[in-house]
Amino acid sequence: MLKPSRAKIAAALVLASAAIIAVPAMAQSKSGKFVCWKDKAGKVVGCGDTVPPEYRDNAGSQLDRSGMKRGTVESAQEAAKRRAEEEATAKQKAEEKRRLAEQQRLDAALLNTYANEKEIDQRRDRELQQVELTIVQLQAPLKNATDRYNDAKKRNATEDMTHAAAEKEKFEHEIAAKQKEKADISERYAAHKKRYAELRGGGQSASAVSTSAPAPNPGKAR
């Protein structure tokens, strides 16, 4: 059996050393950083300048020249989740900004419209009186429809009774709607009065509310 010469052994050692040195050099990018990627089970399966397409949906790690971890490469799912959270946060902030701007507008309208709380009560009472007048006007046709219904019922006139019942129900619904409108008016002006007292009494500094904007109809202010 022939023994290898010393020259051949030395050459083999040189080639092996060169191969070992070349491996990390191939994995590094020009910037001195490279990434390692994982399979779906979370096992690192390779490193290099860029993540192969088939592994881009999985998270990985970014390393520097010395092999120290410098960051995490997001998976596609993680990146999508992060973007969705950022969009939700931005939307929430925008909505809060819009709400605050609308509140400032309403506060300015409130301060521009009334000189004192008594004027709020007076405006409320005028609106309530108008609605109450409509209710009174509806009472007469309701009574007539009720009388026609009772008369038709006594006569057992089915067709007349049906027609009168429909009219009676119509007026009852209109009166119920007006009663609800009265309750809404009282509730709305109670809120106006409470907010006005807060603005004038120190609940919020009135100077912090711009009063330069034209005041809208206070009856629509919420």
Q: Are residues 73 and 102 in the same domain?
A: no
Tell me how far CA of residue 34 lies from CA of 24, 31, 53, 78, in angstroms: 10, 8, 16, 20
Q: What is the pLDDT of residue 50?
A: 67
Q: Are residues 191 and 110 in the same domain?
A: yes
Inside any domain, residue 31? yes
What residues of the chain score a pLDDT lower than 70?
Answer: 1-51, 53-75, 202-222
Q: Are residues 101 and 197 in the same domain?
A: yes
Q: Are residues 106 and 152 in the same domain?
A: yes
Inside any domain, residue 27? yes
- DSSP per-residue string spanning 162-180: HHHHHHHHHHHHHHHHHHH
Q: Are residues 138 and 198 in the same domain?
A: yes
Q: Are residues 123 and 209 in the same domain?
A: yes
Q: Are residues 139 and 57 in the same domain?
A: no
* pLDDT one-digit tens code per residue, 98-112: 999 999 999 999 999
Give the integer Cα–Cα distance in Å for 144 and 167. 9
Number of domain units in the chain: 2
Q: What backbone torsions phi and psi does residue 35 show, to the nearest 5 degrees?
A: -120, 150
Strands 69-73 vs 34-38: parallel, antiparallel or unpaired: unpaired
Inside any domain, residue 1? no
**SS3 call for 193:** helix
Q: Are residues 146 and 55 in the same domain?
A: no
Q: Are residues 209 and 180 in the same domain?
A: yes
Inside any domain, residue 143? yes
Inside any domain, residue 4? no
Burial label for 37, CB within 10 Å (0-12, 13-18, 19+), is buried
Give the integer Cα–Cα distance in Å for 143 and 172. 10
Q: What is the pLDDT of residue 79?
A: 75
Q: Are residues 102 and 209 in the same domain?
A: yes
Q: Are residues 71 and 140 in the same domain?
A: no
Q: Are residues 147 and 176 in the same domain?
A: yes
Inside any domain, residue 2? no
Give the integer Cα–Cα distance in Å for 44 and 37. 6
Give the integer Cα–Cα distance in Å for 127 and 125. 5
Contact status, residue 195 vs residue 222, Cβ threshold 8 Å: no
Q: What is the pLDDT of residue 10?
A: 55
Domain containing 149: what range? 97-220
Q: What is the pLDDT of residue 23?
A: 42
Inside any domain, residue 162? yes
Choosing from 28, 44, 77, the residue where a domain stops is 77
Give the integer Cα–Cα distance in Å for 47 and 57. 15
